[in-house]
Structure 1
Amino acid sequence: MTTSDLTGWLRDSDPALRWQVERDLIGEPSEVWQATRTHIATEGFGARLLALQDSDGQWAGGAFFPAGFRSEQGAGQPWTATTWTLNLLREWGLDAGVLRERRTAELLGRNSRWEYDDLPYWGGEVDCCINAWTVANGLWLGADVTGIVDWLLAHRLPDGGWNCDWVEGSTRSSFHSTLNVLKGLLAHDIATGGTEATRAARRSGEEYLLERGLFRRLSTGEPVAPWVNHFGYPFFWRYSVLNAADYFRQAARFDGTKPDPRMAEAIEMVRAARQPDGTWLQGGRPTGQMWFEVDVPAGEPSKWLTLVGTRVLTWWNSWSPATAARPS
């Protein structure tokens, strides 16, 4: 595709994606992409998810899993319960006012309990990733998640990151868990301005990933696993260098820093996955039930991945390696 063809292809999409294309790739005036963004609540993917909300504020009757789900059923992780639905609506850019008018935070505080130990929803539980998503969603909806932020700070591991398996005794950080916690802490810092402690924790987690080039083992220098360059949308909990690079793009924008040159190899992995027509192919999302599909089948050009990949490379290319500086 030519650049104009690619832009037109991306723009011919759901409002949840289209407004981001207009803002991040085309550079439309704010009144243009903001107007598109308002349509998330009334048409397309966003409107469909909003229509599925239960009267008690939840989705699918559960906090992390649908009501009645049992892991032994062997159907894979369902992506229909409250946390996963809120994650998508927030990431797509739904105006939080829509859910605040529905008193969603209040209803979840009253009616939703974690499947782990029946703990209250806005109090969090023991999984780092779940708690990070709850921080981001709580800040978005106006819930008090201060206690969960403190919990995340207290559960940082000695090597600088996080691991959801700390409950089983793990003392080494995980790429997946560290990235998910970083996203939650960034959401906190953007919403509140952050604290010295949250900023230090973010720097620590970022350094954990950067000193590994976003994909290598620190001990051997080998890629940590094949999933580092498996690009599938929705990302859900799953790490990839594309997912991580987009986090660093957002963090750099907020912090006013340049790209770290230690990301260079990871960026080349993102660039190598771009097809000759400028698209990225869907690698396949994690298995499990969804309310409905939001992207193409594996092997087909993905508008979501093309949006993310293009804006990551645009950000990276705006700085030459000679001028890129490590975050302070």
Structure 2
Amino acid sequence: MVEPDLAAWLLDQDPALRWQVERDLLHEPDDVWQATRARVATEGFGARLLALQDDDGQWAGGAFFPADFDFHGPEAAPGAGQPWTATTWSLNALRAWGLDADVLRARHTAERLDESCRWEYDGSPFWGGEVDCCINGFTLASGAWLGADVDGVAAWFVEHATDEGGWNCEWVDGSTRSSVRSTLNALYGLLELEERGGGTDESRDARRAGEEYLLRRGLFRRLSTGEPVAEDVDGYAYPFHGHYSVLRAADYFRRADALDRRGRDPRMADAVELVRAARQPDGTWLQRERYPGRVWFHVDVPPGEPSPWLTLYGTRVLDWWDVV
């Protein structure tokens, strides 16, 4: 149960977050959270980002990067950060905030992107995907959400899984090993497709193999040494922007369990305890950082402050894991 003061704080947030609190933490009737969710299109973060859409369906004039991005300038220097304003990132945000896809369908967004949006890497059509596993995971999720034809992207994941069962964006440079980050972003795309009634036997098998890749590692350990795959797997920042953490991975498995009903896998136990250990005495999770890079506007608190978004995710994971 969420303490009353914490619940009141979470409810006093943008509709994009509030409806998820109502549905997932407070278990309000459907008509309550659905009414709040409908406000995402007309209030707060969702309305602001919708207003920034270009006439051709894109955001910032580009697929993964803004049209004015200088690949040789200061913004492209190491440590400068990925710009988070282009079409991929804007669709990711609206989808995560629960925007009704019909809002973008009414704008013919999928069709307009098919006509106008091309990947910076090779100029290929937006809904055809790219060579990067993470980008393709985002594209698959957004395409499934908007009803675009992304069957080819789903098939791409079947073809490009490693022998370990996961994926790695560096396969184009010859890597044959999987990456937890690439694998998680691929899994989110495949799961979104299935949640919306799509997918094939092959893509479902690929998703489960990818899940097994993460579970064999307890979501955060190297199979060879048992050491964490990175120093920051238990450091959390919102927006996630596709970065890997045990919090984001655990929330994936919570969501997958809602679809598959296969239950909680005990191999996740140590990862969930990392999530629990980050909870503050008042029930909140702190924002660790803001990932560098251009944004339209900030949607969460500065580093060091209690994060409503991370608190939603952390509480949701523990509520799922701790259920009797």
Fold shared per TM-score above 0.5: yes
For 1:9 and 1:304, the matched residues in 2 are separated by: 11
Partners of 1:188 and 1:198 in 2: how far apart? Answer: 10
Contact 2:151 2:199 in 1 (8 A): no
The answer to whether the 8 A contact 2:157-2:203 is kept is: no
Structure 1: state its 5+ residue gaps.
320-328
CA distance in 2, matches of 1:68, 1:115: 12
Q: 5 Å matches for 1:196-275?
A: 196-275=201-280
Deviation at 1:4, TM superposition (A): 0.1
| 1:303 partnered with 2:308 | yes
- Does residue 141 of the first structure (1) align with residue 146 of the second (2)? yes
Counterpart-to-counterpart distance in 2, 1:194 and 1:141: 15
The residue number in structure 1 matching 2:32 is 32
Structure 2 portions without partners, runs of 5+ = 76-80
Q: Distance in 1 between matches of 2:295 and 2:51?
A: 15
Instruction: Tell me which stretches of 4 or more aligned residues in structure 1 moved more than 3 Å.
Output: none
Residue number in structure 1 paired with 2:160 = 155
Q: Does 1:187 align with 2:228?
A: no
- Paired with 2:60 and 2:143, the residues of 1 have a C-alpha distance of 19
**Which amino acid in the other structure matches residue 318 of structure 1?**
V
1:194 deviates by 3.3
Look up the match of 1:324.
Answer: none
Q: Give me the TM-score of the superposition, normalised by structure 1.
A: 0.95
1:108-187 aligned within 5 A: 108-187=113-192
Report which stretch shifted further, 39-48 or 199-208. 199-208
CA distance in 2, matches of 1:139, 1:207: 23
Kindly state the Cα deviation for residue 234 of structure 1 after the two structures are TM-superposed.
0.5
41-50 or 280-289, larger mean C-alpha shift: 280-289
Q: Distance in 1 between matches of 2:185 and 2:73?
A: 27
- Letter of the 1:113 partner, please give it: R
Please give the alpha-carbon distance, in whole angstroms, between the structure 1 residues aligned to 2:169 and 2:233: 18
Q: CA deviation at 1:285?
A: 2.9
| Letter aligned with residue 242 of structure 1 | L
Distance 1:155 1:70 in 2: 31
Point out the more displaced range, 138-147 or 38-47.
138-147
Is the partner of 1:68 in helix, strand or coil? coil
1:216-252, CA deviations, whole angstroms, 9 ceiling, x for partnerless residues? 0000011111121110000011000000000000001
C-alpha separation in 2, matches of 1:71 and 1:237: 21
**Matches of 1:294 and 1:18, distance apart in 2:** 13
CA distance in 2, matches of 1:131, 1:189: 15
Counterpart secondary structure, 1:122 = helix
**Contact 1:189 1:198 (8 Å CA) reproduced:** no
Look up the match of 2:74: 74
The SS at the match of 1:226 is: coil
- Alignment length, in residue pairs? 318
Partner of 1:15: 15
TM-score (norm. length: structure 2): 0.97
Equivalent residue for 1:84, pick from 80, 83, 89 = 89
Q: Distance in 2 between matches of 1:167 and 1:195?
A: 25
Root-mean-square deviation (Å): 0.9
Q: Cα deviations across residues 9-44 of structure 1 (Å, max 9, x unaligned)? A: 000000000000000000000000000001000010
Note the C-alpha offset of 1:195. Answer: 2.3
1:85-104 equivalences in 2 (<5 Å): 85-104=90-109
Deviation track 1:37-93 (CA, whole Å, cap 9, x = no partner) reads 010000100000000000010000000000021233232210000000000000110
8 A contact 1:235–1:285 mirrored in 2: no
Alignment of 1:33-52 (within 5 A): 33-52=33-52
Q: Give the SS at the match of 1:210.
A: helix
- Contact map agreement 1:96 1:141 (CA 8 A) in 2: yes
Amino acid at match of 1:223: P
The one-letter amino acid paired with 1:100 is R
CA contact (8 A) 2:301 2:307 kept: yes
3-state SS of paired residue (1:110):
helix
Aligned-pair CA distance for 1:193:
4.9
Q: 1-side partners of 2:27 and 2:305: how far apart?
A: 27
Take 2:103 and 2:159, find their aligned partners in 1: how far apart are those partners?
33
Paired AA for residue 5 in structure 1: D
What's the % identity of the aligned pairs?
A: 67
Contact kept, 8 Å, 1:153 with 1:197, in 2: the verdict is yes
In structure 2, how many angstroms separate the alpha carbons of the residues matched to 1:106 and 1:144?
10
